[in-house]
Amino acid sequence: KTWTTKQRYATYDTYSKKELDRLQKLQRDSKWHLAYHLQPKSGLMNDPNGFTYINGEWRLAYQNFPFGPVHGLKSWENLVSNDLQNWRYIGSGLQPHAPYSMQGVYSGSGLAQGERQFLMYTGNVRTEDGGRISTQLGAWVEPDGELHELSQPLISGQPNGYTAHFRDPQILERDGRYYAILGAQREDKRGTILVYSAERPEGPWQLDGPLDFGFDSLGYMIECPNLAFVDGSVVLIFCPQGLDQSVCAYDNIYPNMYIVADDIDWASRKLVNPGPLHNLDVGFDCYAAQVVNEPNDHAHLISWMGLPDTTYASDEEDWQGCYSLARELHVIGKRLKQLPMMDSLIGAQMPVANATIDLVSVLHFEWQIGVDETLVVGNSKEQLRLKFNDTGVTVDRSGVASSNADDFGKTRSVPLVAGKHSADLYLDRSCFELYVDDGAGVLSGRYFPEDATNWTLKQAADTQVAVTGHKTKSIF
Ligand code: FRU
């Protein structure tokens, strides 16, 4: 089905409850329904939003177009967890409406304020002539979940010298002052990040100016900027679009990147001693990661395992997108380590040699640089290949249906230096995540096997790669 602009932005009341039930059933009954990764109840899931720790729980909203696998009219759907592993869907959150979010509730963040949560997010309006109006909005969420949207915008329109590509505020509180960083595009079509500040979450918000993160601008637009406060460092995580490959190489249509700095100086809006750009996840489908900086001194991240302007095999079942596992962040030098939050979901050990591999499991590999081997996980028709050699570890998904992003290559690699290495491959029914050397390298992606039966692990009889396996628990 092709979706016209009019169809994509049709209000939700155009659809019947029966249609929504049908779409939710399609997702639930899908052979690609995930066992322990967050996925939409129906339709398209994109950016993680409103990630907040409050009253001993993590809250997260997923951005959603409930009625198809396309970027239509967006709203937020709420989730909650006590451990960042077991999640519960708790109903709908922010909904699009007049006058500021008529064509979608776009991305934003959350901040705990005592027992209440403050949300700061972007309202999207499309004008008749194809233009857009971006408004930064606010809302309080009461302890019982009741939502109170502020009637007045926090920030109306973009400042002079910038286009309406102005969105995705991350709200922060530092030393008693509130800050918001936003993705922005200058009139000369360069991507940048703007800093605003206020005495209270409700404002008034004042423009402080662009953030100096070691570059004057990157690409033509920056989406979803986040600051994470990790192990005494400050990490800027963001999505530059149209980034020149010579600045930092990447494989996907748009990358999700980060920079580790020693600190941030809010007075001069400058990252202190910023390191180089790095890809957050060198896999196939990582975008729009969002960070939660609470509780004290802990930072976690969840990314969208999906990309803008990309179609996936599950589109035929009218749904698209999932999320990475929540990852605990650490900094070593000027690099991130990302540890998947999984301990409560690891089940019994399972045999891997001459045994069938359930696609709700984790495989652990140990090897030494110097080996040159390919391990095949799959059946006679469909396979994921893992290549271990002198340059690192490579995942090849050419043997299994994936997405139209195949134009961007079917293999991805984590480069490694000499010595001993280990990796964990989390397999779920339509996504995988490979964490190398305790999360020093991360490579995740989608795959869509037609037939998940009779999958096995094939490796050479004289293999030098030690493999063990565990089943993982299902939460959905
Ligand atoms: C990133 C993004 C954000 C925007 C949202 C709209 O994927 O484009 O910049 O707020 O998605 O759905």
- 427 Cα–ligand 1 center, Å: 27
Which of 42, 90, 39, 91 is closest to 67 using CA atoms? 42
Q: Which atom of ligand 1 is nearest to the CA of 108?
A: 10
Residues 288, 323, single domain; the answer is yes
Nearest CA to ligand 1 atom 8: 223
Residues 336, 375, single domain; the answer is no
pLDDT at position 67: 98
Structural domain including 62 reads 5-340
ipTM (interface pTM): 0.98
Count CB-CB contacts under 10 A for residue 215: 18
- 225 Cα–ligand 1 center, Å: 11
pLDDT at position 353: 86
- 290 Cα–ligand 1 center, Å: 12
Residues 416, 456, single domain; the answer is yes
Residues 291, 351, single domain; the answer is no
Tokens 């233009």 locate to 131
- 107 Cα–ligand 1 center, Å: 6
Beta-carbon contacts of residue 222 (< 8 Å; ≥ 6 apart): 183, 184, 185, 191, 192, 193, 238, 239, 240, 241
Show which of 324, 340, 356 is a domain's final residue: 340
Show which of 300, 320, 340 is a domain's final residue: 340
pLDDT at position 386: 98
- 442 Cα–ligand 1 center, Å: 23
Residues 148, 258, single domain; the answer is yes
User: CB of 353 within 8 A of CB of 468?
Assistant: no
* Structure token pair of residue 137: 């909005």
Which of the residues 13, 29, 47, 428 is marked catalytic? 47
Running along the chain, 476 residues long, what does each successive block of 10 average in pLDDT?
94 98 98 98 98 96 98 98 97 98 98 98 96 98 97 98 98 96 98 98 98 95 98 98 97 98 98 98 98 91 97 97 98 97 97 92 98 97 97 96 87 98 98 98 97 95 96 97
Residues 236, 369, single domain; the answer is no
- 133 Cα–ligand 1 center, Å: 14
Phi, psi of 315 (to 5 degrees): -55, -30
Q: Which atom of ligand 1 is nearest to the CA of 223?
A: 9
The residue whose CB lies within 8 Å of the most ligand 1 atoms, and thus the one to mutate among 46, 73, 74, is: 46
The residue whose CB lies within 8 Å of the most ligand 1 atoms, and thus the one to mutate among 224, 287, 307, 323, is: 224
pLDDT at position 402: 84
Residues 238, 348, single domain; the answer is no
pLDDT at position 1: 82
pLDDT at position 354: 81
Q: Which atom of ligand 1 is nearest to the CA of 71?
A: 12
3-state secondary structure the chain: CCCCHHHHCCCHHHCCHHHHHHHHHHHHCCCCCCCCCCCCCCEEEEEEEEEEEECCEEEEEEEEECCCCCCCCCEEEEEEECCCCCEEEEEECCCCCCCCCCCCEEEEEEEEECCEEEEEEEEEEECCCCCEEEEEEEEEECCCCCEEECCCCCEECCCCCEEEEEEEEEEEEECCEEEEEEEEEECCCCEEEEEEEECCCCCCCEEEEECECCCCCCCCEEEEEEEEEECCEEEEEEEEECCCCCCCCCCCCCCCEEEEECEEECCCCEEECCCCCEECCCCCCEEEEEEECCCCCCCEEEEEECCCCCCEHHHHHCEECEECCCEEEEEECCEEEEEECCHHHEEEEECCCCCECCCCEEEEEEEEECECEEEEEECCCCEEEEEEECCEEEEECCCCCCEHHHHHCCEEEEECCCCEEEEEEEEECCEEEEEECCCCEEEEEECCCCCCCCCEEECCCCCCCEEEEEEECCCC
Residues 359, 464, single domain; the answer is yes
Count CB-CB contacts under 10 A for residue 59: 23
47 catalytic? Reply is: yes
Q: Which atom of ligand 1 is nearest to the CA of 308?
A: 7
CATH classification at residue 292: 2.115.10.20
Residues 359, 401, single domain; the answer is yes
| 224 CB-contact burial (10 Å; exposed 0-12 / middle 13-18 / buried 19+) | buried
- 85 Cα–ligand 1 center, Å: 25
Count CB-CB contacts under 10 A for residue 117: 22
Residues 359, 270, single domain; the answer is no
CATH classification at residue 356: 2.60.120.560
pLDDT at position 82: 97
Q: Which atom of ligand 1 is nearest to the CA of 63?
A: 12
Ligand 1 neighbours (beta carbon < 6 A): 46-47, 63, 74, 106-107, 122, 167-168, 223-224, 287-288, 308
pLDDT at position 297: 77
Nearest CA to ligand 1 atom 6: 106
Residues 280, 413, single domain; the answer is no
Q: Which residues pair with 114 in a beta bridge?
A: none
The residue whose CB lies within 8 Å of the most ligand 1 atoms, and thus the one to mutate among 77, 135, 168, is: 168
Q: Which atom of ligand 1 is nearest to the CA of 167?
A: 10
Nearest CA to ligand 1 atom 12: 106
* Structure token pair of residue 284: 């196939």
Phi, psi of 168 (to 5 degrees): 65, 55
The residue whose CB lies within 8 Å of the most ligand 1 atoms, and thus the one to mutate among 44, 63, 65, 105, is: 63
